[in-house]
Structure 1
């Protein structure tokens, strides 16, 4: 029973959340104290959003949970999944605390980029599974969005963040607070404006090895 309970907590908080709660917020009596300072860390943050989600929710009704969880199963296979708010997912690829963000970290940066590309390919070419394909072929969805297939937008940015438990004694979430996390979300929003699936910041681009950089293209300079 204790093992099952521990496993449920690990799933509820996620890989990153379990570490945050375990290291920073457990008091000697086992109670969680959210009123403690966070911890500064560095990571590549990925923000992903399911497109046309409002339409899918209205058409799928109860099945929308299966729809979201099928996509989550693909996304969560890489990176440390942190949060899901409806159609949005936040993932983090942690960097060493003393890492120089101006220096290459091609292994971690490429892992983050590869995760986005892999999800794009899986969703676009195979629709991930028979169940996902069946849901997107729902007559109500196809009537509203002819030819609809599941697609997502992705934003990647790197920088510092404060990790910790956010909330109260009644409900807490383990998460990251930072303008760098917000910028990853802004980059995802830009995918609709530029007509692409993935946008990465110049900082993430500089961390990738040159032969892979040549496969990417600069699309704008944004202030």
Structure 2
């Protein structure tokens, strides 16, 4: 019988410093240490439920001899699929109990997963609850190709290892959850800064950026004649039309303000060329325009159609923590942001979807049409404004 020296693994889990920012390499090392300790692991899966608006859970699969960890995610619909309901993990998640199955026995008829494992040479399968201190339940599954499956000592060792293992995985998971929540609510760059320790008022940086400020035309009238629930649903679809385009081109959405959206596209003078960044911003604006124009929302017997306006500018902004007491907001301020806000109002008056400042127009070579000079409240001189030559203005009543 193979001797299991699981205490070495337990000591490593308890005493070592584990890299929470690189869970892939950590899982590889952990699995390799368990194999060295005498556990005949062939495949290990870690299944973590997440706190994410679109993702139900993530899975990390280590296979002995494979070059890297396989990482996947599933949405909330997975819970209703026949595959999940006929899975050992469904029983584990619903009842918080171990589930063991023999791929070469009658269990394979009950769990189709075991049939797949049998075809790959597996001789045993064990799913173990991975309990976190906050009471949430997760799972780890192990399978082997050892003749006869896991022996009693090996199963006992796995049950001992799972406790300290769960603590480390919980720490890694909580770090990941914090990153996801910060990314969801304040943006990815702001989230990274907050996790990096920039949590005090006065932690601010000055940076150059292209600024995006948009709003939905006719939103006040829309809110007045439609139920609030419908308005919220419309806003979610409307923001979807912009956020994907913005983020795919390097922008960060900082704030939703009613029907307004503030985003920035940082310009690193050592890496980025302002012309290239502004060209990406213009691509995002044109894609968003097409998406909003194509948006059709049925309300009763009618179909609502929408238009929006976006102002684009380039300038220096103050980016960081602003607020009072222990309630802070990670955002950006400065004259450049104020100018973008004023330009967005001009876009509405002119019936334009996209308007840009003279600075943006100079940075982004395009077929611009000069729209004139406009006095801007709070600014000492009038500002020259440009629009897309191909755009036909539409002034809404």
What TM-score range do you get, normalising by the shorter chain? 0.7 to 0.9
Whether the 8 Å contact between 2:255 and 2:261 is mirrored in structure 1 is yes
TM-score (norm: length of structure 1): 0.79
Indicate the residue corresponding to 1:12 in structure 2: 185
Structure 2: distance between partners of 1:99 and 1:199: 27
Whether the 8 Å contact between 1:21 and 1:165 is mirrored in structure 2 is no
Whether the 8 Å contact between 1:44 and 1:156 is mirrored in structure 2 is yes
Answer 1 or 2: which has greater helix percent. Answer: 1
Structure 2: distance between partners of 1:191 and 1:157: 13
Deviation, structure 1 residue 4: 2.8
Inter-CA distance 67–178: structure 2 relative to 1 (3 Å threshold): same
Residue number among 227, 230, 236 corresponding to 1:69 in the alignment: 236
* 2:329 is the counterpart of 1:173: yes
* 2:362 is the counterpart of 1:206: yes
Structure 1: distance between partners of 2:177 and 2:196: 21
Inter-CA distance 48–108: structure 2 relative to 1 (3 Å threshold): same
Residue number among 334, 344, 350 corresponding to 1:194 in the alignment: 350
* 2:45 is the counterpart of 1:45: no
Structure 1: distance between partners of 2:336 and 2:300: 38
Inter-CA distance 138–16: structure 2 relative to 1 (3 Å threshold): farther
Structure 1, 15-24 or 46-55: larger mean CA deviation: 15-24
What do the CA deviations read for 1:182-214 (whole angstroms, capped 9, x no partner)? 1111111001222211110111111123xxx2x
Whether the 8 Å contact between 1:154 and 1:188 is mirrored in structure 2 is yes
Whether the 8 Å contact between 1:44 and 1:112 is mirrored in structure 2 is yes
Structure of larger gyration radius: 2
Indicate the residue corresponding to 1:84 in structure 2: 256
TM-score (norm: length of structure 2): 0.46
Deviation, structure 1 residue 168: 3.6
* 2:292 is the counterpart of 1:123: yes
Residue number among 301, 316, 331 corresponding to 1:160 in the alignment: 316
Whether the 8 Å contact between 2:241 and 2:292 is mirrored in structure 1 is no
What do the CA deviations read for 1:24-47 (whole angstroms, capped 9, x no partner)? 51xxxxxx322x241110000010
3-state DSSP of counterpart to 1:96: coil
Indicate the residue corresponding to 1:133 in structure 2: 297
Provide the aligned C-alpha RMSD in A: 2.3
Structure 2: distance between partners of 1:121 and 1:49: 15
3-state DSSP of counterpart to 2:372: coil
Structure 2: distance between partners of 1:194 and 1:138: 31
3-state DSSP of counterpart to 2:364: coil
Indicate the residue corresponding to 2:19 in structure 1: none
The answer for unaligned runs of 5 or more in structure 2 is 1-172, 375-381, 383-397
What do the CA deviations read for 1:144-182 (whole angstroms, capped 9, x no partner)? xxx851111110010001111112454221101111011
Structure 1 stretches of at least 4 aligned residues deviating more than 4 Å after TM superposition: 97-100
What do the CA deviations read for 1:45-89 (whole angstroms, capped 9, x no partner)? 010001111222231311222211212222112121111110110
Whether the 8 Å contact between 2:215 and 2:261 is mirrored in structure 1 is yes
